[in-house]
Homo-oligomer: A and B are copies of this chain.
Amino acid sequence: MIRIALSQLEVIPGRPDLNTATMMALIEKARSQQAHIIIFPEMAIPGYLLGDTWEQRAYLRECEEFGRQVIAASTGLSVIFGNVGVDWEKRGNDGRVRKYNALFTAQNGRLCSTDKSPYPFCIKTLHPNYREFDDTRHFYSLRKLAQDMGKSIGELLQPINITIDGKLFKIGGILCEDGWSDDYSFDPLAALHAKGPLDLVVNISSSPFTLGKNNKRNRVFSKQARVTGVPLAYVNNVGLQNNGKTVYTFDGSSSLYDAQGNIVAQCPSFQPDLKIVDIGSNANASTAVIIPETQEIGSIYQALTYGVNNFMQQIGMKKVVIGVSGGIDSAVNAALFTCAVGPENILLANMPSIYNSQTTKGLSEKLASNLGCQYTIIPIQETVNHTVSQITTSPIIDLKTGQESKLAVSSFMTENIQARDRSGRILAGLSAAFGGGFTCNANKTELTVGYSTLYGDQAGFIAAIGDLWKHQVYALGQYLNAHIFQSEVIPQGIFDIVPSAELSSEQAVDEGKGDPLIYPYHDYLFRSFMEWWNRATPEDILTWYAADELDKQLGCKIGLTKQIFATPEDFIRDLERWWKLYTGMGVAKRIQAPPILAISRRAYGFDHREAQNPPYFTSAYRKLKSKLLSGR
């Protein structure tokens, strides 16, 4: 019988001192419970998403020093942990000191080295370089090292040998992506298993939460254990890490899979945990734990509240001002932040102009009252009028000739002036006075096409629902009422009114006028541009439209496209309008957008790299368009 401690650490990125202190306490606890092995996540000491902090040699020395402390603490048990492995003598391809993303194994104060590896630690073989990952920028992979040494990767991949009760115990140690080798020409796990019978596979990870990922992870790792007949310990961290623009929660979900592929232990999501679990020599005695497939909207709620709470802690912010308009986005933000940090820390501000209806003003106040947040009303019309007047009456002077001219302000400009007056003028000042920040209430649909005003409603310290499509925002609102508050804290009227910015008489909610976006269609269209692994483009969309299979491809209601667009002209006009915004002004605005809390397979920011380039329609698209428009 071997006793394993799965240590689902809350890793604080950039704080090796705090992480090490927590690890020391957990090692002590595991030892007191007679664990033979304690396993910590990938990059447990330094944190994983650090940007270019990896270029600070002082930071590397610091992580090495804390690594030595952890190694020294391994008396009486084996400690497996992730840290940066530095080779001060060699260079990476950037010319800086060479760094490895490494798995260390220590026993009785010493590192357990493998015979044929040039280093006393295991090196990550496969480096993810998609989505938000940036391993290749900072670390040298085992692939490269093998190539440099003129060896096969398999030669360098060796099991870790530790001794438990006098007996040899062989561990296949891998890091995160190494366990997901489908798209690589090399499978580190297979290579390790080929080295003779393993007693245990250990996968240490730092794997951000992504909607639906856990279900897949369980299928993949369960199969790995079952097929090889070797138990697998998966240890992932919890906490919050970010790449600047994109903020990731880590749900942990560390698990032990037995030799039959059953999950025999799993740490709870989004909570630090030390799970002690015994594996028998044949692992037959273990009892499977039933892990229900996670429900989409429930896990979104969990990730967002965890993320908001942790993010505010990390930046040292306690209080929040939220502009509430009476619409669904601000209402869901208000309810979410109330769950995350408590109503006493929240001030809801309604900022009416002459275009805001009694309906939405009433709904805002009702929302504040239901949530128990503080509330204030600060009108903007006077300043908006003053701004328009200053711009239109101030003389524009040609100093050479002395000639003066005046500028005009269009109704569209006035809409933006209102939005900026609310955020840039009121909310920014109000939140400072309140002792905190203000939220950006934008959703993913708006962010996709820049349907928000820069320095206006796009501003804020975080876009908590910036990775949710509009229909997900509604669903989250309903979930909050039904399951979290179990009462109608978000008034039904907020769900019922037409979505509208209320910035002009063209957007009067009481007359059913609102946004130009038809969410049941555009949510799905934009998702195909943005979230699909193979991004859809107007060429793909128009091809499907012409083949009458667009709704099916997009996953929206069958028949919807035909219902919305009477003619190909209408369809094409709409398609081009939004594609231009998505790849044009939308990019410009996202460059200056706040950090976004990621939940999907693809969030804006570092996970979706983009250049401010001219919108483009391919030749094939233009050909098909002209065919459709000419009716041929």
User: Measuring CB to CB, which residues of chain A are less than 8 angstroms from any residue of chain B?
Assistant: 12-15, 17, 47, 49-53, 55-59, 61-62, 65, 91-97, 126, 128-130, 134, 136-137, 143-144, 146-148, 153, 182-185, 241-245, 247, 314-315, 347, 365, 368-369, 372, 374-378, 382-383, 386-388, 390-392, 394-400, 407-409, 413, 416-417, 420-421, 423-426, 428-430, 432-434, 454-455, 459, 461, 533-535, 537-540, 587-588, 590-595, 606, 608-614, 616, 618-621
**A376 and B399 contact, Cβ closer than 8 Å, known pairs A93-B129, A245-B591, A592-B593:** no
Partner of A148, one of B49, B185, B593, B610: B185
Nearest chain B CB to A43's CB is how many angstroms away? Answer: 13
List chain B residues, Cβ under 8 A from A426. Answer: 387, 390-391
Judging by beta carbons under 8 Å apart, are B433 and A59 in contact? Answer: no
Judging by beta carbons under 8 Å apart, are B14 and A616 in contact? Answer: yes
Nearest chain B CB to A467's CB is how many angstroms away? Answer: 16
Partner of A616, one of B15, B535, B538, B619: B15
Nearest chain B CB to A350's CB is how many angstroms away? Answer: 11
Judging by beta carbons under 8 Å apart, are B429 and A454 in contact? Answer: no
Q: Kindly state the separation between the CA atoms of A14 and B183 in the bound complex, as whole angstroms.
A: 27
**A126 and B534 contact, Cβ closer than 8 Å, known pairs A58-B618, A147-B143, A609-B52:** no
CB closest chain-B residue, reference A137? B129
List chain B residues, Cβ under 8 A from A618. Answer: 58-59, 61-62
List chain B residues, Cβ under 8 A from A535. Answer: 52, 55-57
Assembly of this chain: how many copies? 2
List chain B residues, Cβ under 8 A from A15. Answer: 613-614, 616
**A243 and B595 contact, Cβ closer than 8 Å, known pairs A391-B430, A408-B433, A409-B429:** no
List chain B residues, Cβ under 8 A from A52. Answer: 535, 608-610
Task: Decide if the interface of chain A is mainly helix, strand, loop or mixed.
Answer: mixed
Judging by beta carbons under 8 Å apart, are A537 and B56 in contact? Answer: yes
List chain B residues, Cβ under 8 A from A57. Answer: 534-535, 537, 540
CB closest chain-B residue, reference A366? B399
CB closest chain-B residue, reference A153? B147
**A147 and B185 contact, Cβ closer than 8 Å, known pairs A51-B610, A52-B608, A372-B400:** yes
List chain B residues, Cβ under 8 A from A455. Answer: 423-424, 428, 455, 459
Judging by beta carbons under 8 Å apart, are A413 and B432 in contact? Answer: yes
Judging by beta carbons under 8 Å apart, are A399 and B49 in contact? Answer: no
List chain B residues, Cβ under 8 A from A374. Answer: 396-398
List chain B residues, Cβ under 8 A from A592. Answer: 459, 592-594
Q: Kindly state the separation between the CA atoms of A12 and B616 in the bound complex, as whole angstroms.
A: 12
CB closest chain-B residue, reference A311? B612
Q: Kindly state the separation between the CA atoms of A13 and B614 in the bound complex, as whole angstroms.
A: 8
12 new A-B contacts, CB < 8 A, other than A51-B608, A314-B612, A375-B396, are: A12-B614, A14-B611, A15-B613, A52-B610, A136-B137, A137-B609, A147-B153, A242-B611, A375-B399, A376-B394, A413-B429, A417-B428
Judging by beta carbons under 8 Å apart, are B540 and A244 in contact? Answer: no
